[in-house]
A and B are shown apart, each in its own frame.
Chain A
Amino acid sequence: MTNPPDDRMSELRNLFFESAAELVQRLNDQALQLEKSPGDGEVIRAMRRTVHTLKGDSAACSFRELSELAHEFEDVLSLEHTAAAESVPEIALRAADVFAALLAAYREHKKLPATAVLREEIAHLAHTASAPVQKRGKSKVVAARWSEYEQLAITRAVEDGRKLYHLVVQLDPHCAMPIAARQMLRTTLASLGEVLAAFPPDGHTGPMARVEFAVASGAPPAQIRSRCEIPTISAQVKVQRMRAVKISPEVAAAAQAAGPAPSDANEPAGPAESDASSSAAAANLSIGTAADNILRVDAERIDNVLNLVGELILAKSMLQQTLLEFSARFPKDALRGKFSDAMAFQARVLGDLQRSVMKIRMVPVDHLFRRFPRVVRDVGRQCGKDVRLVLKGESTDLDKGILDAIAEPLTHLVRNAIGHGIETTEERQRLKKNPQGTIQLNAYHQGNQVVIEVSDDGHGIDVDRVRDRALGQGIVTSDEAARMTEAETLNLIFRPGFSTAAEITELSGRGVGLDVVRSVLDRLKGSVQTETEPGRGTTFRLRLPLTLAIIKALLFQVERRLYAIPLNAVAEITRTSEEQIHQVEHFDVLQLRNEVLPLLRLGARSAPGSGSRDKIFVLVIKNGERKFGLVVQGLAGEEELVIKAIDDRQIETDLISGASILGDGRVVLILNLAALVDRFTSQRAGVSMNSTAGLLSGISAAHARGAAGDRA
């Protein structure tokens, strides 16, 4: 048999990394569980199994450091008294961190992180715990320094009245060849008398720092010592007279067989009983019954399927287009009905298929939430705050890609909430609040969005302070600040460079502001909304699309070019004309029922006078607290768009986030809502804008073609 070929090995490695991450997470969970119920045998056993599997798997993939470390840890967990030690949860958490760091290093072929601290802690635990065993007298017999034959030889020499010396030679740490050094010492001693015993024994090839000999010699001890003091070989030599040696019963008997033997032989203790499994509890048959039917599939394969589904949806649009043309040409043809029935059926199946495939990509948000008990515990400790975590809606499904992407911002928000939101225990007591703070993570579906909330019951955000600080840091001008609503002011905390904490703490800041949250959400076409109540707490509400791959979009025209915007952002559509648009302080506004709606122009204004009576459309966009109108020139319907990523090099503006191809082959550009909102805010805040040109006027047709041209 030969080793599996490389591609197989890499497949196994991938599988390993996936399951190892799961195991490390499990270790985290178990450590926290153990912290809550110290010494719980069930939890310890579960933890040991986790470490055990990790050890075996990593060994199979040649990740030696990891497997050795896991091995050491497993051994500690295997012994009853060490496993019950108080420090185990702490060490387990550290182990989880170190394992995770090792995994990351292996995966990226980077330098391995230091593991010495963990190793030491494990060794320390193993060491401190060995004491009680010895008290019970059940520990392993310490290996006899001298072999049985050597003991016998020494005993005989004592009986014969020969002068015996015990030599301990510390080898020079710089000695390059300890084995040769040992041999040299032995030869020297042999010239002075008879070497009865040597330790380490002959043939030992491992490292050695010192060697010991038992020598029968008539030479004076000083001479023995001086002969053994060989420069570059021995660092220190001790010579002691030996008058007896501890011997095993075997040797005692053997010695007795030929003459009187010392009777003080100490009985070796009985071997330790270490069978931990004999009393294995009755099996719990219900555990893990669901998991066996889970199939692990490379995410890339699912993406491939999803891509094909996207193409199918495209094909469906093409067919629909063809049907329309056919109907127009042969309005009386009987085939038309059949054709349209078939189309309807196909559309339904396709819809089901798409949903099913999307479901494959969906993972419960629990995968992400699971890491937070650990985060909350660690950060809480760092800040000296007592914080409890409440998780809700863990089974809410979310696209795997989105889930992965929001892990960091969510962690950031949670750290921030503990670091800055929750008060210290003393302060909470003073305020007559529950001394234990609460962080809640909640996830739920709303429309075709997923909402994830991070709430704390801390002191809330002081809006005035945010405003002052934003002014102080030059993020907004006083003019802008005066215009801002409370919600808008709150959102300033997500601006780059903003920080309310007096100093940047390693903890929640890491020198990076909450703008990370914002930028990730922008990329995901999501939004964040902040609600705060002084003294009662803060809630950050992240709204995320269910998926990144397909959106329901509203299509419209600006300057004869086709654009799309996610349908869920559009609150309403209203029809109006240029005459109805008014200018207030250089801004276009529209009177909509009782509201004055600020407008954002996407295209150039129609030349005044020429077609001012032409009907135009205003899309009312609602994004969080903001509401504004997009002026567009024509509506082109509603479609499901399969988003194709566009290359940054092909399109410079951040206003376009993707492109899609319609059934008739036309390219449609998808607007980036977050960027639009930004433009809207800065326009309102007074940044000079060429309001006649329109936001999208600069995007050339060439850009657009390039952006979406590649449909393979």
Chain B
Amino acid sequence: MRKRSKVLVVDDSALMRKLIPKILEQDESIEVVGTAMDGYFGLKKIEELQPHVVTLDLEMPGLNGIDTLKEIMRRWQLPVIVVSSHSTNGAAVTLKALSLGAFDFVAKPHDVAGRMSEIGDELIAKIRAAAQSKTPHVQFLPDIAPNQLAGKQDPSAPTRIVAIGVSTGGPNALQYLFSQLPAEFAGSILVVQHMPDGFTDLFARRLDETCSIRVKEAQSGDLLTAGRVLICPGNRHMKVKRLPLGNIAVLNDEAPVNGHRPSVDVLFRSVAEEFGSQSIGLLMTGMGEDGASGLGAIRAAGGFTMAQTQESCVVFGMPKAAIERGYAMRVVSLQDLPNALAAQCTPGGRDSEGRKSAGAGGN
């Protein structure tokens, strides 16, 4: 039995300082060693108590969450789980925290009380994952070389439909991946990133600003065009549909699958069904195994499947599940993913199976 993971809770709300430890202590592998009411105390207590994982509220007086996070990253590189909230600012700050190296975040929905156990489970799972991440999870990515930001390409029919499933560690990994794809990327990308409602829109807009390819939070009826990324909004599922005039994304509010909404499996199965051999499935860093069976469906339908390597994952959960079941045709590091994807989607390019990729666009 491994030692219990020591957790420090940093939150300016007295209530949360009581509630979070109560929730966490229901899990026997977690021990809350202390709480702190602001960043300044947080840092002092990290030094004193040497926790394995820190939960961090971003809105605090004194030393605020972002500055605290920077300091934690600089001095200890501890995994930090941001406990975030829904507000105009909440999403922006949370995304910033992720870009600064926070391990993951848990969003408090409006009806926290009603979904307390759900959020508790999520927090516990993320803390356990964070505690087990052996390598320093801060990824020193190669410098992002802005890819001819000037002039986004005109959309046209994509060569392939790329479905990406990603969870913990996703924001940074996607940021890297998309920044490296050229504006003339020939495929159309659909992303299910496990992220709550309210965060995905901002996330998509930030990616759009920093990447050459066009990124947008998906709306029902959005066209799947070349050089475009559609990110599934939080709390909805995304499927795809072939229609006479073009191919579109369709959102729905069906029940969560694998405990997730959006669920990677829902997207992957739909892509496999509609686009078969024209589809590419990519399963990236994340906890759990959402998307593993969907990747199998894409492979079975004749599509091409990839999973991210363990070394480049923040959490090697979802890709591992797919690899173990033999659903991943290639295992690629994050650094090599942009090239691998571009190669797969290049018109006339060949995939590793030697099939000629056919246009996936409309009729």
Given A62-B111, A148-B248, A283-B62, check contact A15 B15 (CB 8 Å): yes
Which of B132-140, B179-187, B222-230, B295-303 forms contacts with chain A? B222-230
Flag A38-55 by CB within 8 Å of B: 1 or 0 each: 000000001011001101
Q: Which residues of the other chain, A, contact B243 by a CB distance below 8 angstroms? A: 149
- In the complex, which of the residues A59, A78, A152, A284 contacts B110, with contact meaning CB atoms closer than 8 Å? A59
Which of A218-226, A274-282, A401-409, A561-569 forms contacts with chain B? A274-282
B88 at the interface (CB under 8 A from A): yes
A259, chain B: closest CB distance, angstroms: 11
Which of B154-162, B165-173, B308-316 forms contacts with chain A? B154-162
A106 at the interface (CB under 8 A from B): no
- In the complex, which of the residues B121, B248, B252 contacts A203, with contact meaning CB atoms closer than 8 Å? B252
Contacting B at CB under 8 A, from A260-318, are 270-271, 274-278, 280, 282-285, 287-289, 291-292, 296
Q: Which residues of the other chain, B, contact A288 by a CB distance below 8 angstroms? A: 37-38, 40, 61-62
B63 at the interface (CB under 8 A from A): yes
Whether B111 pairs with A19 at a CB distance below 8 angstroms is no
B339 at the interface (CB under 8 A from A): no
- In the complex, which of the residues A64, A74, A79 contacts B111, with contact meaning CB atoms closer than 8 Å? A64
Contacting A at CB under 8 A, from B208-262, are 208-209, 214, 219-223, 225, 228, 243, 245-246, 248, 251-253
A81, chain B: closest CB distance, angstroms: 13
Q: Which residues of the other chain, B, contact A79 by a CB distance below 8 angstroms? A: 88
Whether B88 pairs with A46 at a CB distance below 8 angstroms is no
Whether B26 pairs with A1 at a CB distance below 8 angstroms is yes
Whether A254 pairs with B67 at a CB distance below 8 angstroms is no
How many Å lie between the Cα of A87 and that of B281 in the bound state? 53
Q: Which residues of the other chain, A, contact B27 by a CB distance below 8 angstroms? A: 1
B145 at the interface (CB under 8 A from A): no
Which of B16-24, B285-293, B325-333 forms contacts with chain A? B16-24
Chain A contact residues: helix, strand, loop or mixed: helix
Q: Which residues of the other chain, A, contact B59 by a CB distance below 8 angstroms? A: 48-49, 52-53
Flag B64-99 by CB within 8 Å of A: 1 or 0 each: 101100000000000000000111110011001000
B177, chain A: closest CB distance, angstroms: 20
Whether A49 pairs with B228 at a CB distance below 8 angstroms is no
How many Å lie between the Cα of A46 and that of B121 in the bound state? 32
How many Å lie between the Cα of A292 and that of B245 in the bound state? 63
How many Å lie between the Cα of A15 and that of B22 in the bound state? 14
B116 at the interface (CB under 8 A from A): yes
How many Å lie between the Cα of A135 and that of B18 in the bound state? 46
Given A1-B27, A147-B219, A203-B252, check contact A55 B85 (CB 8 Å): yes
B329, chain A: closest CB distance, angstroms: 30
Q: Which residues of the other chain, B, contact A52 by a CB distance below 8 angstroms? A: 59, 85, 87
Q: Which residues of the other chain, A, contact B108 by a CB distance below 8 angstroms? A: 56, 59-60
- In the complex, which of the residues A64, A78, A156, A287 contacts B245, with contact meaning CB atoms closer than 8 Å? A156
Q: Which residues of the other chain, B, contact A289 by a CB distance below 8 angstroms? A: 40
Whether A15 pairs with B14 at a CB distance below 8 angstroms is yes
A274, chain B: closest CB distance, angstroms: 5
A588 at the interface (CB under 8 A from B): no
Given A78-B87, A275-B92, A277-B89, check contact A19 B223 (CB 8 Å): no
Q: Which residues of the other chain, B, contact A275 by a CB distance below 8 angstroms? A: 92-93, 96
Interface residues on A, range: 35 or more
How many Å lie between the Cα of A28 and that of B208 in the bound state? 41
- In the complex, which of the residues A1, A75, A250, A257 contacts B87, with contact meaning CB atoms closer than 8 Å? A75
Flag A496-518 by CB within 8 Å of B: 1 or 0 each: 00000000000000000000000
Given A62-B111, A278-B96, A288-B61, check contact A153 B13 (CB 8 Å): no
- In the complex, which of the residues B13, B96, B116, B246 contacts A277, with contact meaning CB atoms closer than 8 Å? B96
Given A75-B87, A292-B41, check contact A49 B60 (CB 8 Å): yes
How many Å lie between the Cα of A48 and that of B40 in the bound state? 20
How many Å lie between the Cα of A283 and that of B44 in the bound state? 14
A423 at the interface (CB under 8 A from B): no
B32 at the interface (CB under 8 A from A): no
Whether B62 pairs with A254 at a CB distance below 8 angstroms is no
A467, chain B: closest CB distance, angstroms: 53
Q: Which residues of the other chain, B, contact A143 by a CB distance below 8 angstroms? A: 219
B56, chain A: closest CB distance, angstroms: 13
A506, chain B: closest CB distance, angstroms: 36
B189 at the interface (CB under 8 A from A): no
Contacting B at CB under 8 A, from A51-84, are 52-53, 55-57, 59-62, 64, 67-68, 71, 74-75, 78-79
Given A64-B111, A288-B61, check contact A254 B246 (CB 8 Å): yes
Closest to B228 in A: A250
B106, chain A: closest CB distance, angstroms: 12
B126, chain A: closest CB distance, angstroms: 14
Q: Which residues of the other chain, B, contact A67 by a CB distance below 8 angstroms? A: 110
B36 at the interface (CB under 8 A from A): yes
Q: Which residues of the other chain, A, contact B154 by a CB distance below 8 angstroms? A: 249, 253, 256
Contacting B at CB under 8 A, from A222-254, are 249-251, 253-254
Whether B223 pairs with A148 at a CB distance below 8 angstroms is yes
Whether A292 pairs with B36 at a CB distance below 8 angstroms is yes
Q: Which residues of the other chain, B, contact A253 by a CB distance below 8 angstroms? A: 154-156, 225
Lowest 4 CB-CB distances: which A-B pairs, in order?
Answer: A147-B221, A62-B113, A271-B205, A283-B63
Other contacts beyond A16-B15, A61-B15, A148-B248: 7, CB < 8 A: A52-B85, A57-B16, A59-B112, A67-B110, A149-B223, A149-B248, A253-B225
Which A residues have a C-beta under 8 Å from some C-beta of B?
A: 1-4, 8, 12, 15-16, 19, 46, 48-49, 52-53, 55-57, 59-62, 64, 67-68, 71, 74-75, 78-79, 143-144, 146-150, 152-153, 156, 201-203, 205, 249-251, 253-254, 256-258, 270-271, 274-278, 280, 282-285, 287-289, 291-292, 296
Which B residues have a C-beta under 8 Å from some C-beta of A?
A: 12-16, 18-19, 22-23, 26-27, 36-41, 58-64, 66-67, 85-89, 92-93, 96, 108-114, 116-117, 120-121, 124, 154-157, 202, 205-206, 208-209, 214, 219-223, 225, 228, 243, 245-246, 248, 251-253, 361-362
A/B interface sample: 9 pairs, CB < 8 A: A4-B22, A49-B60, A53-B13, A56-B112, A59-B112, A79-B88, A149-B221, A254-B245, A275-B93
